[in-house]
Structure formats: structure tokens, C-alpha cells
Homo-oligomer: A and B are copies of this chain.
Amino acid sequence: MELGVSKMRKPPGRIRDVAKETGLSIATISRVMNGSKSVSPKTRKRVLEACERLDYLPNPAARALSTNKSNTIAAIIPTIEHSVFAKFIAGIEQALGTRGYSLVLAISNGEDEEELKAARKLLGMGAEAFILSGAAHSKELLDMFLRRQVPIAFTSVWDPNLKIPTIGYDNSKLAAEAVRYLASLGHQRIAVFHGPLKTSDRTLARRQGAETVNTPLVELEFHETELSVSGGRVAVREVLHGKVRPTAILCFSDVLALGVYFGLREAGLEVPDDMSVMGFDNLDWAKETHPPLTTINLPAAEMGKAVATQIMDHLETGVPLHRENLDAEIVRRSSVKEIK
């Protein structure tokens, strides 16, 4: 009768169980589990069979402890209830998954406070790198990452002046392009709808980009509204009650544009005959509206894939993270008409 061994075997099989089962040392088992090449083929086979039999899976905590790697990447986003972020997350998850990494997700609601709390939590959970949205973050947060030397990347933005790598698109430039596009079609008064400036530096960048277009003939009126279908609809009412009616509405989100569609419909106005409408995002349904929505295609999923890939490469090979400017271009459909 062995002593002390009477305690029930703990449910998950441990490496030493496999060692005992095969009569090998735990070192060899470990080598097999990690695909080390210095294991004879038949030993490897024997081990793998034993693993199968014992339903063995290496303990992740133990592995993380000795290797100092958790294979976990964190993303903190302001909201997930916006298609663009959802696609972005899907892109990240997919890219991470193919290489065995996992995604831990936190939602900050655009609050620095919550973002910091989430970051601490995820750090204390073993996240090896962080994917953040936008470039505006509390100094405290950034300091924390700096002190701990945790790799971070900013996404949804592209800014050559930042030291921290930005992987995304140039919001300012794109907004300016959108305005110029409308101007080129003869629109001289354009209403611009956007979400809250407070919580999103990307929105601010877009607005500032739009303002840079000072073709003398173009007048812009800005409407800050809630970032939702409802917000777009509310803003339309404002516009329709204004003294001078613009000929086009540029929305810095397709979601707003959808609200605009309904708002105009409610007012009995036709797109684009009575009002041209342009969006920003190119969500899945943008081509399905009636009329199909002219918008700017943001490569959300590609962006997720790009940042995830860069981070994994960095973690594995040490190549530094680098700025990446993704293609985003105007998708011309029929919600914008030319003004003679």
C-alpha cells in the first residue's frame, strides 16, 4: 500500500501521470508536447497515445509560469455595438486564432477611467500586448504600459507623428477627401454629421480634416449628435429647420446615414434628388439601402488582422511594431447626385 497516494487523482491529468504511464521522464513528455525534435519517433508516438488515453492537456498556468508567455492578447475598445468594431474584433480573433493566441476583450465605453481599470485587470491576467482604439489615452495608462514594457498599438488611426505605432487609416485625410468629392460634384453647402467629439479622437480628426478643405465655394455646417441611427435622424430635423438648406449631408458614420435616410423619408424627401447623403464605414448593408449609399470603405477586418499579425510577429521574433496605413477609399454609389 503506497502512502499518501490514496488522495483521489485530480481530474485533469498532469504531466507526471503521462510520465508514469509511459515510463518516461516528465522532461521527455514536455518535449513531445512542445514538438521538440530531439525525441525519437516511436517515443513520441507512445507519448501521444498516452496523452490521448489520459485526456492530458498541459496546465496553461504552469506553462505560462515557466515560459513567461501567456499567448494572450488584449483589446480594449470603446464599444462593440458598432459594426466597425465588431468586424475589427472578428479580424483580430481570426488572425490570433490561426496561430494559437487568444483574445481577451474589454469594453471601455470611451471612458479613460474604465479603460485604465480594464487594462490593469487584463495585465493582471497575463495579457502580453494591448490593442487600443484611437490615439487619445490617459497618460497614466500609457505610463503603465511603458514602465512594464508591454507592447501596445493604436488602431483606427494613422498618425506619422506618434511614436507609438498606429495601424489604421488617416481619418483627417479621408474626411477631407469626402468633402472634396462632394464639392467636385457641385455641392456648395454641406452638412456634416458626427458623433460626440469628447469620446473619440477619430471623430475629432475627421472634423478637423473636413475643416481643412477651404475651397472658397464650399460652406460646411457641423452637427454633433449621438452616434446612432436615432442621432442621424435628429440631426436631419435640425438641418431641415435651418435657414439655408444644404444640398448634401456627409455622415461620419454609416449608422448616422441610415438615420438620415429615415429622417428624410419621414419628411417626404428623396435621396439623392432632394438631398445627397454620404456615409463613412461601408457597413455590410450600405450597398443594400435604397438608394445604395455612397460611403468610405474602412477596412476594419483587415485592420484587425494587420495589428494582430504585427503583434504576434513582434512577440515571437522581436521585430518592432510599425505604423501601417491601410487603404480606405470612397465607394461611389447612388446616394449622391451632381448639382448643376
Contact = CB atoms under 8 A, between A and B. Distances in A.
A53 interface: no
> At the interface, is chain A mostly helix, strand, loop or mixed?
helix
A4 interface: no
Nearest to A63: B61
Contact of A262 (B65, B148, B288): B288
A118 interface: yes
A266 B285 contact: no
Contact of A124 (B60, B121, B284): B60
A255 B151 CA distance: 38
State how many copies of this chain the complex holds: 2
Contacts of A26: none
A258 interface: yes
A81 interface: yes
Given A262-B290, A285-B258, A104 B233 contact: no
A299 to B, nearest CB: 15
A130 B55 CA distance: 19
B62 A104 contact: no
Interface stretch (A88-96, A188-196, A202-210, A307-315): A88-96
A314 to B, nearest CB: 16
A61 B70 contact: yes
Given A80-B80, A83-B81, A105 B93 contact: yes
Contacts of A290: 262-263, 265-266
B100 A121 contact: yes
Interface in A93-131: 93-94, 97, 100, 102-107, 117-118, 120-126
12 contacts: A11-B148, A11-B149, A60-B70, A61-B62, A61-B126, A64-B126, A72-B104, A72-B125, A80-B90, A103-B104, A258-B285, A266-B290
